[in-house]
Amino acid sequence: MICRRAHCLYKFSFLMGVVLLCSGVIGASQKNQASSKLRVMTSIFPLKEFAQAVCGSRGKVSLLLPPGAQIHTWQPRPSDIFSLSSADVFIYVGAHLEPWAHDILKSVQKKSLRVMEASEGLSLIKKNIPHKKHESPGLDPHIWLDFGKDQILVDRMSRLFSKVDPEGAHVFKKNARIYKQKLQNLHKKYKRSLQECEHRTFLLGGHAAFGYLAEKYNLNQISLYGVNPHSEPTPQQLVKVVKLAEKHNIKVVFFEINVSDKLAKVIAEEIEGRTMVLNPGASLTRSQYKSGVTFIDIMEKNLESLKNGLNCK
Ligand SMILES: [Zn+2]
């Protein structure tokens, strides 16, 4: 867990109090909105895009986390529990990506809320990094960077939304088919573009978010931080990464857009290379939101960076 136990307990009981206060208000407003659109809430941006693509104009999808928030470390406020209480469906990744999910779901006293844990039932990559005190053990949660798994999620959303809004079933199914085609095209483009490259190993100055992508396209990910971006790397790790980069003759260090590029720059200088952006896409900055950038756009941009950085034909 991110916070100390006593602190968590205090926070939790405070949140419970607020929820009890709010539940009366929600009960009243629900009656007025019975005929309105399907309301979906998701934890991260890619899930929001998938859900919105599936429900189309029959639903409204919002994000629980504010723009720029770091998914691994965010903590819910009472107002977040309140807004989650007004949703019909909540979709989150699971596999310890959102350490707060369990508590917030316990706080939401709404029996009709349908919950989809996206990672459930998917085959997940085991993390092969040593467990640190604050790092969750086990599985790699960055499943949205596998466009095949994303297609499974889109189908599951379509089925779930049909349970809440049966009249929309045919629309959800059709929308799901259209969006899955986009994901499939993206996958084909990645496969084609990353087939013949000078390098198959890429170096991340950030955390190991691209395990699924690497596995799918036969690449090898070396990262400085492990799976959690907020565990500081040790000097020994830095040295190890620089040595690996030299061994593989790597001249590009990728860094994440929402995490400091300081260490990426240090490594780049050490190996006399350059830095490039690779965006996991879990959360957007405020300005990215305003620009209307899509998950597919972000992934296309990543592909350009990878092609460039790995020197692909
Ligand atoms: Zn991550």
* Residues 50-53: contacts with CB under 8 Å, at least 24 apart: 50/150, 50/153, 50/154, 50/157, 50/179, 50/295, 51/89, 51/91, 51/157, 53/154, 53/175, 53/176, 53/178, 53/179
**Residue range(s) in the chain whose domain bears CATH number 3.40.50.1980:** 37-188, 195-309
**Ligand 1 centroid from CA 187, angstroms:** 21
The predicted structure's pLDDT at residue 271: 93
User: pLDDT at position 72, please?
Assistant: 78
Q: Which fold has domain 37-188?
A: Rossmann fold (3.40.50)
CA of 56 to the centre of ligand 1 (A): 28
pLDDT at 283: 87
CA of 94 to the centre of ligand 1 (A): 12
Distance 104 CA to ligand 1 centre (A): 20
* 269 CA from centroid of ligand 1 (Å): 25
pLDDT at 101 over 70: yes
Mean pLDDT of 286-298: 93
pLDDT at 136: 53
Question: What pLDDT was estimated at residue 31?
Answer: 40
Q: What is the DSSP letter of 114?
A: E
Q: What is the mean pLDDT of residues 149-158?
A: 98
The pLDDT, as a whole number, for residue 309 is 96
Q: Tell me the CA–centroid distance for residue 96 and ligand 1, in Å.
A: 10
Report the pLDDT averaged over residues 157-164.
Answer: 98
> Model pTM?
0.86
Distance 167 CA to ligand 1 centre (A): 37
Residue of 217, 168, 210 lying closest to 189 (CA atoms)? 217
For residue 257, the model assigns a pLDDT of 77
Question: 140 alpha carbon to ligand 1 midpoint, in Å?
Answer: 9
Please report the pLDDT score of residue 231 as a whole number: 67
- CATH number for 195-309 (one of 3.40.190.10, 3.40.50.1980, 3.40.50.2020, 3.90.1150.10): it is 3.40.50.1980
How many angstroms does the Cα of residue 97 sit away from the middle of ligand 1? 7
How far apart are the CA of 207 and the centre of ligand 1, in A? 7
When pLDDT is averaged across residues 118-133 and rounded to a whole number, the result is 76
